[in-house]
Structure 1
């Protein structure tokens, strides 16, 4: 049987204390000591362990899009390509949001560089397109690394992760068909009219969401505090809804 973990949806994030109890849509409860996220594409998944015991951590599934691209409700990918002004503003906004989390701000101030490097984990399967052009994820990753005080580095090419908080620090990366950014499904995402690639079942990695929701979430359910959009010259929280939604 797969283990259950506390799942953080797109746009959600914060400081979490584990172990905890999760509840499925059918009312079934699970005691969980693991936390994670999944189905990132150009988003960024971030995990920061905030204490040695591993009982407290910051986790978020951060997304950023150009809100105006949704006005026509099209599926083109122009919403994840930023100009210099938009990119600079996004980095600044993400750093400000991180600094607004008191526990995270205190951890950064009082933690040495070596400990930071061991306890910060980032994933983003497509922080750049197949030509190497930066996408929104690249700037989010850079903002997190600058805020924490880490050297700039490439995040793991996975669409999600699950990390045990039981002292083992066991981590599973959720990938496509056992591979990462070389997956044809990921590359196909950038082709015109291509469907979104479906990630592996989490169960194939030995995990299952402990707080599954029903019915399936729509993109408008994902408008959480860590989902940002650029509209009328500034970044703000919450998905931008196209006309008629």
Structure 2
């Protein structure tokens, strides 16, 4: 699986409202942060993307010092437009990142499914929390949905398997809810894990394809970037499958999208 695809911030942000809603739902379950030191709480956004939701952290905790971390130069270039006196952005690969200071909140929005072995990072991340600090994240939990299943099935057909069979996300990119609950509870955290299925009503022509062009389809687009004719052929075949799986209605196209949430608070 490709873990570091190229990103197009403009494409990703075409559905910014739908993508930001789970982050708001996640933050609604984050408890009060530890007693603020003179400098205010310390917050990290792991996999901040273009920074549009990182600004929500700065708005909610205006005395905090917030850093958004990402490994995409394209995303970080867009994120820098949001930087301010207490909000900055830095390059980091979540596969190897460990806290270099103590944080009151570590939060990650739709990023960990791109990080193989992310469970193994949890002990160091929890160690980096202040007593009473929180680690909160959400990830897509829909790898079995037509959106992804059709992409994998097409990518594994004889025409495409050699070029795409190894780059697409597989079922083990996100674990079952109980796996996260067990891992975080064993690290001494009071942990709340849940799933929610959103039914996004999307507008425009082929909106589900447009959605996935900003996320899950990126590895395939990268793998075929040197062959525009093949890239366009794959996208067309995939588009036709999505049209059947997600039919258009007078009011729009419905994209059911299940997400997994976890909020783990370290003992005070």
Could you tell me the TM-score, scaled by structure 2's length? 0.27
* Bigger helix fraction: 2
